[in-house]
A = this chain, B = another copy of it.
């Protein structure tokens, strides 16, 4: 899971941040969890914020990689469906990271990587909406606003899934699958 030391530290940071939040996650604790010394962190990251930036950067890249793998000419709705399913599957496999993506985004929104994450995700959804409209598959709408709305809805569905998992203990895979389905239905009715 941690091919190299930078990844090792990233994983440790994710765990500690999930437990305590970014501000309460001390560099000492991250180092201890990673089994390295504090100094080592600074061999791989400029400072503490850079760890969080890296976390978002990595997640953004994963999403971009997935999205660019979808064939250009696939019906827009289907792209959306696949993306939602993939997204929730990833969350189910690594809920800790999912939680960070939710929790720390708002507060540290000034960090470039985090802005970048939000904006990239939103603009991908926006571009999907535009494509759908252009191809006559979606009704006309303010695409930018719609993309933003969809991103918010997506995150809320993730958050709700994680909370439902914590409350009920039902398998996270099932919960997220259902959320993906429900969200897709919600979107497909709204957009068409």
Contacts and interface: CB of A to CB of B under 8 A. Distances in A.
Nearest to A23: B23
Given A104-B106, A190-B190, A149 B144 contact: no
Given A149-B157, A152-B156, 4 more contacts: A23-B107, A106-B106, A146-B186, A148-B160
B148 A107 contact: no
B141 A182 contact: yes
Contacts of A159: 148, 152
Integer count of this chain's copies in the complex: 4
A192 B148 CA distance: 22
A148 B182 CA distance: 12
Interface bracket on A: 35 or more
A30 B185 CA distance: 46
Contacts of A105: 106
Interface in A115-157: 141-142, 144-146, 148-157
A164 B149 CA distance: 13
A167 to B, nearest CB: 11
Contact of A156 (B21, B141, B149, B183): B149
Contacts of A150: 153, 156
Contact of A145 (B145, B151, B182, B192): B182
